[in-house]
Amino acid sequence: MKISFDWDKKSIEKDEAGFSHRSGKGNRKITYARALFEAFDGLLAADKRIFVMGQGVDDPFGMFGTTKDLHKKYGKSRVFDTPISEEGMTGIAIGAALGGMRPIYMHNRPDFLLLALNQIINHASKMSYMFGGKTNVPLVIWACIGRGWGSGAQHSQNLQGLFMHIPGLKIVMPSTPYDAKGLLVSSVLDENPVLILEHRWLLRHEDFVPEGLYAVPFGCGVVRKKGKDVTIVGVSYMIIEALRAAEELKKEKIDVEVIDLRTLAPLDEKIIFNSVKKTGRLVVVDSDWKRAGVTSEISALVMAKCFRYL
């Protein structure tokens, strides 16, 4: 599989200030959904072990356009619809991963992942630990989060805090088309399970995105806006809101630094701590519940390791 690793991890690690800004590259702007489509298309073309399954992946809309007509290009054995049986289908995906395949199981809503918690927690995320690293589960689970469109209480939950709690499971939450494409590639290349949570309100956002496949690293946040007065930390769509808030606060002569973590597990603690040491103030934003969630976890980490800088 020919992948361009469009990053230098060593240079990020050596950056004493903890800053690493990565915006889109290339000479064309595409939507977030199109960037995901290109990643799926390129990955399916590059490796026959990869297949995509899920409710709606082969319908005319193709999971918000991210898989549109890929079943026609690669066949119904590699891009196919699944029954409404999340636990059973997750078990099949885990079995395929254990057998050498690289499944991508897509959900148009994250709520139904709750029906597969036994498979995700007791099997996929534990396999490597249970067998001393000799067994891997290269499974990607993709879900679209976010409220709206008349979704009820059972179709609009953001559950990243719940899944962040699980050892052995990587959590990816991009905010830009560039990162969405690159992090999907990294997720498929990974040897252990990855959960990608994409916010539906981002799907029409545009950014510069290179052609071809490239990988964006896990556990490396980026500073979307530098500032000196207060640090705002978040992921996914909340980065859009944080940047809007930063523009409003600029009118009050408050200089905000905005940090996009990009992944929650692994979590880039260093970039948070370095920013807090500079600004002395922290705001953590997330679309999930507050109690025992992303915001409380990051707040606790900063209180434990950076309290004297606040």
> Which positions are annotated as active-site residues?
86, 155
Q: Residue 103: is the preceding peptide bond cis (ω within 30°)?
A: no
Structure tokens at 71: 């079943």
Residue bearing tokens 């499974």 = 139
Q: What angle do CA 189, 105, 103 make, to 5 degrees?
A: 45
For 165-168, the CB contacts below 8 A with 24+ separation are 165/292, 166/120, 166/121, 166/125, 167/125, 167/129, 168/124, 168/125, 168/126, 168/127, 168/128, 168/129, 168/192, 168/193
At 110, give phi and psi (nearest 5°): -80, -20
